[in-house]
Amino acid sequence: MQNQKTKNFTSEFEKEVFEGLTAYPKHLSSKYFYDEIGDKLFQDIMAMPEYYLTDCEFNILGANKSEISALFQADNVPFSLFELGAGDGKKTKILLNHLVENKTVFDYRPIDISQNALDQLEASLKAEIPNLEVNPIQGTYFETLRDINQANGRKKIILFLGSNIGNLLHEQAVDFLNNLRDSINEGDLVFMGFDQKKHPQTILDAYNDQTGITAAFNKNILRRINRELDGNFDLDKFIHWEVYDPETGTAKSFLVATAPVSVTIERLGLEIRLNQWETIHTEISQKYDDAVVEWLADKSGLSIVSQFTDAQQHYKNYVFKK
């Protein structure tokens, strides 16, 4: 077996899978959930009644689209509307439609790690909002912040919906927000969704649905390793396990081995064994309150311009400026 340091990984995926599966305890990054099957499973998650986040944000955007659009175009300057992790754009289309109907001068720049998601989004926008100028960008958040930084001189509005920031530990979120702040200028805005702390059962249900969609979504990372890295994980030997800590507001997803498992991953020249009940940590979905969002903003040199929420305050969208 080669030493990790001498390995020549041909992708970030290979490197991170190797590191995560040779670490103790084991972990894999949730950013690798989103291949073609993962995109589809996440769409199924968004359609589940238990996954309240999507409906909440959809309703917040619908109820406040005039006010939000007015904020975006307050100075009547043409802008580029960037969206990090655009996905299927279902929620964004509320704002896009409203902006186009009001003859706002702007272009839409959806960013996603999944080229597949971008292709589908572009096709659906062409059909549904033909007058919209769309310029997709494929890449990770960190890579594409650079593109945002170097974009044309236009004013920038950056959307980061879906509480996607919740996949980051606070320290990583501060890093990310600092990068974001460095990528914008005075007058630019950031519009971001933060899922809120609430009844712990509501959160657990959202990440542990009875139909098993979330379990399939979590296990898909193993299927992806099998397919792309020539692995032989037996998916049936793992269960999806969710915990929520109401003190820290952190929901964590695990894959737990229900029996001893041996795995060979050819492309990594790697053989691993998991003991019965050994875990692979795959995702965090952080929940927030105003104090934490204010702390994050403060730590990263951003200030809160306004916020929008639903009647139950299950979810909030905050507007930040530099």
Residues at the contact surface with ligand AVJ, assessed by CB under 6 A: 45, 53, 162-164, 166-167, 207, 214, 217, 283, 285
Query: For residues 161 and 83, is the Cβ–Cβ distance under 8 A?
Result: yes
In the complex, the smallest distance separating the C-beta of residue 198 from ligand AVJ, rounded to whole angstroms, is: 13
In the complex, the smallest distance separating the C-beta of residue 186 from ligand AVJ, rounded to whole angstroms, is: 29
Residue closer to ligand AVJ (CB basis): 205 or 283: 283
Distance separating alpha carbons of residues 256 and 275, to the nearest angstrom:
10
Residue closer to ligand AVJ (CB basis): 53 or 222: 53
In the complex, the smallest distance separating the C-beta of residue 180 from ligand AVJ, rounded to whole angstroms, is: 17
Taking the alpha carbons of 305, 76, 142, 161 in that order, is the dihedral positive or negative? positive
Strands 270-274 and 261-265, sheet pairing: antiparallel
Distance separating alpha carbons of residues 146 and 169, to the nearest angstrom:
21
Residue closer to ligand AVJ (CB basis): 47 or 74: 47
Q: Is 229 helix (H, G, I), strand (E, B) or coil?
A: coil
Phi, psi angle pair for 168, to nearest 5°: -100, 140
In the complex, the smallest distance separating the C-beta of residue 272 from ligand AVJ, rounded to whole angstroms, is: 24
Distance separating alpha carbons of residues 304 and 318, to the nearest angstrom:
7
State CA 286 to chain mean position distance. Answer: 11
What DSSP designation does 35 have?
A: S
In the complex, the smallest distance separating the C-beta of residue 38 from ligand AVJ, rounded to whole angstroms, is: 10
In the complex, the smallest distance separating the C-beta of residue 43 from ligand AVJ, rounded to whole angstroms, is: 11
Residue closer to ligand AVJ (CB basis): 53 or 190: 53
Residues across the chain: 322
In the complex, the smallest distance separating the C-beta of residue 241 from ligand AVJ, rounded to whole angstroms, is: 12
CB-based contacts of 53, cutoff 8 Å, min separation 6 = 46, 162, 163, 193, 195, 206, 315
Distance separating alpha carbons of residues 111 and 2, to the nearest angstrom:
36
